[in-house]
């Protein structure tokens, strides 16, 4: 249909634009702007406002490949959560330490409801807390 062709074409144009901007004397701001447009489309696909059925499989694969290439390889960004478990994600590690400290304070004052709420919220984010002799550690499940 018209919508399927339009979405597919617009995503392909954005993918091409990202590459073109980077080839134009490494125009990082414009390339990032195009990547953010792609993020918006990805969020709409995940949220159900746009349908994956409107993309041909090759375009979806190209979208994934382009995104990985530019985010991870060109810009050197990485998934902070992935990096957190091996010591490279300073921001995530710091935030997790704060959350773990808040949970430990709740436990120390026998505020089990807060302690459980923190643990359950982290589990929804696929983060598991492990309480041990050396303190509490966390990992991605």
Residue 110, pLDDT score: 93
DSSP strand pairing (127-132 vs 135-140): antiparallel
Tens digit of pLDDT for each residue in 85-121?
A: 454 456 677 778 878 888 888 889 998 988 888 888 8
Tens digit of pLDDT for each residue in 116-139?
A: 888 888 888 888 999 888 888 898
Tens digit of pLDDT for each residue in 20-29?
A: 887 877 666 7
The torsion angle over the Cα atoms of residues 14, 50, 55 and 21, rounded to 10 degrees, is 10
Count of beta carbons in the 10 Å neighbourhood of residue 96: 20
Domain ranges of the chain: 2-77, 81-140
Q: Is the pLDDT of residue 84 over 60?
A: no
Confidence band for 4, pLDDT divided at 50, 70 and 90: low
Q: The whole model's pTM is what?
A: 0.47
């Amino acid at each position: 249909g018209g919508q399927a062709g339009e979405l597919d074409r617009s995503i392909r144009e954005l993918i091409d634009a990202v590459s073109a901007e980077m080839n134009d004397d490494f125009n990082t701001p414009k390339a990032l702007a195009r990547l953010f447009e792609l993020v918006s489309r990805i969020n709409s696909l995940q949220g159900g406002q746009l349908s994956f059925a409107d993309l041909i499989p090759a375009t979806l694969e190209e979208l994934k490949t382009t995104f990985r290439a530019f985010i991870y390889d060109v810009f050197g960004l990485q998934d902070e959560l992935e990096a957190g478990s091996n010591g490279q994600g300073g921001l995530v590690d710091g935030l997790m330490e704060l959350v773990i400290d808040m949970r430990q304070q709740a436990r120390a004052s026998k505020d089990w409801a807060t302690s459980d709420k923190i643990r359950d919220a982290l589990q929804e984010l696929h983060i598991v807390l492990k309480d041990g002799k050396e303190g509490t550690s966390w990992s991605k499940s």
